[in-house]
Amino acid sequence: MARRPIILFVTPPYHAGVVESAGVWMPLGLVYLAGHARAAGADPIIYDAMSLGHGHHDIARTLATTKPDIVAVSSITATEPDAREVCGTAKRINPGIVTILGGVHPTFCWEELFRKDKNVDLGVIGEGEETIAAVVRSVSAGAGFGTIPGLAYRSGGAPARTACRPLVPSLDAFLPAWDLLDWPRYFYRPGPEGRFAIVSSSRGCRKECSFCSQQKFWARTWRGREPLSFVTELEMLRDRYGVRVAMLSDETPTVDPARWERVLDLLIERRVGVDLLMETRVDDICRDEAILHKYREAGITHLYAGVESGDQDTLDMFKKDTLAAQSKRAIDLINGAGIVSETSFVLGGPGETPASIAKAVELAKWYSPDMAFFLALTPWPYSDMYPSLAKHVATRDYRKYNLVEPIIKPDAMALDEMRRALISATGAFFMDKFNRLGELPPWKRDYLVKVLKLLIEHSYLGREMRAMAQGASMPPEIAATLAGRPAEVDGK
Give the rounded percent of residues in the chain with a pLDDT score beyond 90: 63
How many residues would you count in the chain?
492
Q: What CATH number should be reported for the domain whose range is 6-161?
A: 3.40.50.280
pLDDT digits (tens, 9 = 90+) for 97-118: 999 999 999 999 999 999 989 9
Q: Where are the domains of the chain?
A: 6-161, 202-224+275-287+299-482
Residue 482 has pLDDT above 60, yes or no: no
This prediction has a pTM of 0.90
Question: Contact at 8 Å (CB) between 475 and 482?
Answer: no
pLDDT of 1: 46
pLDDT digits (tens, 9 = 90+) for 135-154: 999 999 989 898 999 999 99
pLDDT digits (tens, 9 = 90+) for 406-464: 999 999 999 999 999 998 998 889 888 888 888 888 888 888 888 887 777 777 777 76
pLDDT of 471: 55
Whether the domain at 6-161 and the domain at 202-224+275-287+299-482 fall into the same CATH topology: no
Residue 202 has pLDDT above 80, yes or no: yes
pLDDT of 190: 81
pLDDT digits (tens, 9 = 90+) for 215-251: 777 777 888 999 999 999 999 999 999 999 999 999 8
Single-letter amino acid code for the residue at 468 = M
Q: How far apart are CA 177 and CA 168, in angstroms?
A: 18
pLDDT of 489: 34
Residue 485 has pLDDT above 50, yes or no: no
More confident residue, 168 or 383: 168
Sheet with 158-161, edge to edge strand ranges: 43-47, 6-10, 70-74, 98-102, 122-124, 151-155, 158-161
- Is CATH 3.40.630.10 what the domain over 202-224+275-287+299-482 is classified as, yes or no? no
Residue 481 has pLDDT above 60, yes or no: no
CA distances from 290 to 35, 74, 104, 333 (A): 39, 40, 36, 10
The per-residue pLDDT of the chain, averaged, comes to 88
More confident residue, 297 or 216: 297
pLDDT of 315: 57
Closest CA to 352 of 376, 336, 370, 326: 376
Q: How far apart are CA 446 and CA 487, in angstroms?
A: 8
pLDDT of 474: 55
- C-alpha angle with apex 48: 42 to 51, nearest 5 degrees? 170
Cα pseudo-dihedral 253, 225, 213, 77, rounded to 10: 120
Lowest-pLDDT range, 298-307, 308-317, 336-345?
A: 308-317
pLDDT band at 490 (very low <50, low <70, confident <90, very high): very low
pLDDT of 473: 53
pLDDT digits (tens, 9 = 90+) for 371-397: 998 989 888 888 888 888 899 999 999
Residue 486 burial by Cβ neighbours in a 10 Å radius (0-12, 13-18, 19+): exposed
